[in-house]
Amino acid sequence: MSSEEFVPLSLTPLLIGTFAAVACALPGNFLVLRKQALIGDAISHVVLPGIVVAFLLTGAISTWPMMLGAAGAAIVAVVLIEAIRRLGQIEPGAAMGVVFTTMFAAGVLLLEQTDTSTVHLDVEHALYGNLESLIWLDATGWSSLWDLEALAGLPSELSRIALTLIGVILFTWLFWRPLKISTFDEGFARTIGIRTGALGMALVITAAIAAVAAFDAVGSIIVIAMFICPPAAARMMTNRLETQIICSVVFAITSAVAGYVLAGYGPLWLGGADAVSAAGMIATISGLILALTAMFGPCRARVGVQNSS
Amino acid sequence: MLDLVADQGAKVAAQGLVASPLAIRGLTVSYGQKPAVFSVDMTVQPGAMTAIIGPNGAGKSTLLKAALGIVSPLSGQVSVFGRPLEKQRARIAYVPQRASVDWDFPTRVIDVILMGLSRELGLLRRVRARHVSYAKECLKRVGMQDFADRQIGQLSGGQQQRVFLARALAQDADLYLLDEPFAGVDAATEKAIIEVLKSLKEAGKTVVVVHHDLATVTDYFDHVFLINTRKVAEGTVAEAFTAETLQSAYGGRLATAQIDQISRALG
Amino acid sequence: MLWDALSLQLGYNATLVAIGATLLGVSAGVTGTFLFLRKRALVSDAISHATLPGVCLAFMVLVALGGDGRNLPGLLAGSAISAWVGLLCMNWLTRHTRLAEDAAIGAVLSVFFGFGIVLLTVIQTMGVGRQAGLEGFLLGSTAGMLWADALIIAIGGAATLLLVVLIRRPMTMVAFDPDYAAARGLPVHRIDLAMMGLVMAVTVVGLKIVGLILIVALLIIPPVTARFWSERSDRVVLLAGLAGGLAGYVGAAFSASAPNLPTGPIIVLVSFVFFALSLFFAPVRGVLAAVLRHLQFQQRVHIRQGLLALAQDQKIYEPLTLRLLRRAGLVRADGVATDPGKARAAKALRDEKRWEVVRSDQAHEATAALYDGLRDIDTVLTQDQIAEIDRRIGGPQEVPS
């Protein structure tokens, strides 16, 4: 493939997919260790009602209100889950199940009640996005990277997900120590004055922001996959948190690149005519990586059989 | 001039009274509708080794956790060296019960010790060689210097307990609170831990231990605090650790023979 | 209009859907209860998402064999197979690797669903042009439901219910205490798998009506709702079946009563309404009852503590304690005890002394266990016993009160 084709058609989807995968995998490491992996699942389901409400309020498909709506819905969901868990003394999994299915149902209902035939807003799009369409038509080749006029035509999803990724990296870097300590030993974290409740909330909000920005570009299914699969696969590779984070980033990038390439060209190699869903393929590849590490990873087995005191 | 000195002396003495390392007033903690700890007052003596003892479910661990702000009380106040807990975090080190952490967590022994330095390291300061060598020194004090690079889940129960003690040492606190440090550990570990605790006491630190083995109380501690939901007795071992107070704390749950044995040991 | 729907007078299709939804609601509520009691509610999320690749593969096979790709039994069989594979993957991950169950659930649901979407796009490019029916499985589609479809749902739902009834005892035991069940010789792992198999059956049956994303709601919300109303597991199961069936019936009727009210989401929202009402207003476990109880309890603790402090001439530090005592007329505004306050304080202290005796006396062991710092001693001991204790305490307490 020549650079005249690659840069306009594949470079931006590849970058967006990769940034989204890494932005989700980083907080995913802590969510998996805190046994809150399904928070990502819950968040990605409630993005739909958030976006529909934003559309109803503004009457148009515009990015920022929708992102705000989605982020708002994610925060509402997290607060509701916590409230139902505490008030009703219900285990977190069930509380989560109650909240996200209800909010998703409300989103579907609102969508059906609204006339959205003129705009591109439907459940399928919310689920698996449209990574393939995020092309850079103004580019003519690698030289366009220095061409300000062409750069102005970059899909806006790219800058949003890049900003989000920078934000996520900053958060992880800044709060690395408290995150690590409070994930490992919450009681100890409190005795040295770490506000564990606020920190946990901040982590979930960071994850929600990453999910919403990624969702905008690649749909929600890939979001759940990237929250969980790369960190889970990285768990099988190492017993050190630092190494685990690096592994998860590598796995996330591999899934995004390999998934995109396979979705675009795999069917051609097999004699088919059209590409398949890139988001679905990225999730599938991340699952394959997890399967391989679960079978052969050096640290796949549980250590530290619980000592009863 | 002489008056001034005397006046200052009186002030210091007064402060000594007020500024107990750990003073608890009217503390009630309840899980649901049954108080685990009811209206308890406690004044820990500075520089002493105090055991908190009482039957199972008597609120020993709860008392400690409430003192540390890990559980929130229904009523009551806690002061640490005469000031509110929040302002004195740096002066307290806590060793939790082993069951409370995730042993499968991807971290090495040395990383756990470095967690004890997190106040000094803050959010972003880099871990330097002197921090690592200090952490190793703390490991050495509990006899675990050879295990620095192990994943924590690979250690035995006693070794894990020593690692947590080493983390508390790294915090270089003035008040050490330990929750059942001797539960389920081997004899070598128990000996190692008690040596470290005694050395802390010699260095003028205050140590409070939730303890369950009545047979070792007189050997290990100089003060006791007996609790069974309410405070039963508090004072030096000679004052407060008697057949009568034990009977009162343990009621029917302690065999008479056991009490006899202990009171004989006490003379 | 709604009344017509509720009394099944809105025509053939609406009636079929209402009956199907009711049956589905009952079997989902009943089955989901065991999952919920086992604290594995979200396993249903993995199972339901894992049906998608099976549906797609079944469609492709049916088309390749020259049949109609929308043959419901064929598609359901395919969904059951892939859900089962997903379930086995999840079990394997939790048993043989260090992953916790939540991560295994998330991994299976996202990867299977992602793969299903890949297959959906493959079907779109196959050019058969009839994939529209498949997307209905995401959110359910009850329009044009056939008699045969309803029959399949009815038979599937009934068979699931029957199986639940048969193995409810071992499932309850495993949910309550798996270690004990294992010690009793129950094959815990196999019972777990059977439980999951039933959940899978409900999911597959529900694909047509509520779709794979929302079936999770029917498996989780009714059991959680029922839990507020009973402490007995058999009653929770029945109540969950009732809540689920009612939600299915009311939801289906409501959705038939007006256009643009999709059946699946309406059923979910109706069952959420039941849940929300239970969360707040259930008599014992409800929020309202719990808040009232907590406030009352806190007041009792503070007043008792205050009285004991008064009796021992200690200073009261807590402003709340002082406020409560003043409101009860036990202390004056300056913190000094009133006469009734003094009397109550003396009684509290004497009770406390009596309790001390009770708790250090082996003969009173059962009574001593009732001690919570608040209970009046005359509610647990007879007058004679109290008199005996007072004799042992000696001193001024002997003065007859």
Please write the tens of the pLDDT for every residue from B176-200. 999 999 988 888 899 999 999 999 9
C33/C112 same-domain check: yes
Please write the tens of the pLDDT for every residue from B3-27. 444 444 444 444 444 589 999 988 9
Instruction: Give me the number of domains chain C comprises.
Output: 2
| Structural domain boundaries enclosing C331 | 289-398
Q: What is the mean pLDDT of chain B?
A: 84
Chains with 3+ CB–CB pairs under 8 A to B are A, C
**Considering the domain boundaries, does residue C33 fall inside one?**
yes
Which of A177, A239, A244 shows the shortest C-beta gap to B118? A177
Q: How far apart, in whole angstroms, are the C-alpha atoms of residue A284 and residue C190? A: 29
Contact flag A276-C118 (C-beta cutoff 8 Å)? yes
Listed residue (A58, A229, A303, A252) closest to C103, CA to CA: A229
C208/C73 same-domain check: yes
> Any alpha helices (H) in C38-67, and if so which ranges?
43-49, 51-64
C250/C338 same-domain check: no
Task: Give the bridge partners for B230, in sequence order.
Answer: B228
- Number of cross-chain residue pairs from A and B with Cβ atoms under 8 Å apart: 108
CA distance A261 to chain C (A): 13
pLDDT for the residue A304: 56
**Considering the domain boundaries, does residue C284 fall inside one?**
no
Residue C107 has pLDDT above 90, yes or no: yes
Tracing tokens 């190494």 back to the chain, one arrives at: A243
Cβ–Cβ contact A3 with B under 8 A:
no
pLDDT for the residue B1: 40
**A121-125: average pLDDT:** 67
C200/C294 same-domain check: no
Q: What is the mean pLDDT of chain C?
A: 85
Taken in order A203, B171, B194, B150, is the CA torsion positive or negative?
A: positive
C237/C306 same-domain check: no
Q: What does the buried/exposed string (b/e) look like for A100-123 if buried means 16 or more CB atoms within 10 Å of the residue's CB?
A: bbbbbbbbbbbbbeeebeeeebeb
Q: What is the mean pLDDT of chain A?
A: 86
Residue C393 has pLDDT above 80, yes or no: no
Please write the tens of the pLDDT for every residue from A150-209. 888 788 888 889 999 999 999 999 999 999 999 998 888 888 888 998 999 899 889 988
Q: How far apart, in whole angstroms, are the C-alpha atoms of residue C222 and residue A139? A: 55
Are the C-beta atoms of residues B37 and B59 closer than 8 Å to each other? yes
Contact flag B230-C373 (C-beta cutoff 8 Å)? yes
Within a 10 A sphere around the Cβ of C370, how many other Cβ atoms?
A: 15
Residue of chain C whose alpha carbon sits nearest to that of A44: C110
pLDDT band of A29, cuts 50, 70, 90: very high
Higher pLDDT among residues C133 and B67, named by residue? B67
Cβ–Cβ contact A96 with C under 8 A:
yes
Contact flag B229-C368 (C-beta cutoff 8 Å)? no
C91/C185 same-domain check: yes
Give the pairing of strands B49-53 and B206-210.
Answer: parallel
Measured between beta carbons, the chain A residues lying within 8 angstroms of C120 are: 277, 280
pLDDT band of C395, cuts 50, 70, 90: low
> Of C221, C240, C260, which closes a domain?
C260
Which of B26, B33, B248 shows the shortest C-beta gap to C359? B248
**Considering the domain boundaries, does residue C387 fall inside one?**
yes
SS3 B111: helix
pLDDT for the residue A137: 79
Tracing tokens 């009839």 back to the chain, one arrives at: C130
Listed residue (B137, B136, B117) closest to B125, CA to CA: B117
C172/C305 same-domain check: no
Residue C57 has pLDDT above 90, yes or no: yes
Residue C67 has pLDDT above 80, yes or no: no
CA distance A28 to chain B (A): 15
Residue C176 has pLDDT above 70, yes or no: yes
C24/C169 same-domain check: yes
pLDDT for the residue B10: 43
Listed residue (C126, C89, C139) closest to C111, CA to CA: C89
SS3 B204: coil
Contact flag B96-A183 (C-beta cutoff 8 Å)? no
Are the C-beta atoms of residues B159 and B144 closer than 8 Å to each other? yes
Are the C-beta atoms of residues B3 and B11 closer than 8 Å to each other? no
Q: Does domain A3-296 fall into CATH 1.10.3470.10? A: yes
By the 10 Å C-beta count (0-12 exposed, 13-18 middle, 19+ buried), B72 is classed as exposed
Sheet strand arrangement including B75-80:
B34-44, B22-31, B75-80, B83-84
Where in chain B are the domains? 21-266
CA distance A194 to chain B (A): 10
Q: What is the interface pTM, i.e. ipTM, of the complex?
A: 0.90
The CATH number of whichever domain residue C30 belongs to comes to 1.10.3470.10
pLDDT for the residue B138: 94
User: What distance separates the 2 farthest-apart alpha carbons in chain C?
Assistant: 100
Higher pLDDT among residues B205 and B102, named by residue? B205
**A225-229: average pLDDT:** 94
C188/C327 same-domain check: no
Residue A61 has pLDDT above 60, yes or no: yes
Q: How far apart, in whole angstroms, are the C-alpha atoms of residue A98 and residue A111? A: 20
> Of C217, C245, C260, which closes a domain?
C260
Which of B75, B229, B252 shows the shortest C-beta gap to C305? B75
User: DSSP state, C1?
Assistant: -
Q: How far apart, in whole angstroms, are the C-alpha atoms of residue A102 and residue A99? A: 5
Give the pairing of strands B34-44 and B22-31.
Answer: antiparallel
Please write the tens of the pLDDT for every residue from C309-348. 888 888 777 788 888 888 888 888 877 888 888 888 888 8
> Which range, of B16-25, B70-79, C131-140, C183-192, averages the lowest pLDDT?
C131-140
Measured between beta carbons, the chain C residues lying within 8 angstroms of B26 are: 305, 309, 317-318, 321
**Considering the domain boundaries, does residue C311 fall inside one?**
yes
DSSP C136-186: HHHH---TT--HHHHHHHHHHHHHHHHHHHHTHHHHHHHHH-HHHHHHTT-
Residue A239 has pLDDT above 50, yes or no: yes
Task: Place domain B21-266 in its CATH homologous superfamily.
Answer: P-loop containing nucleotide triphosphate hydrolases (3.40.50.300)
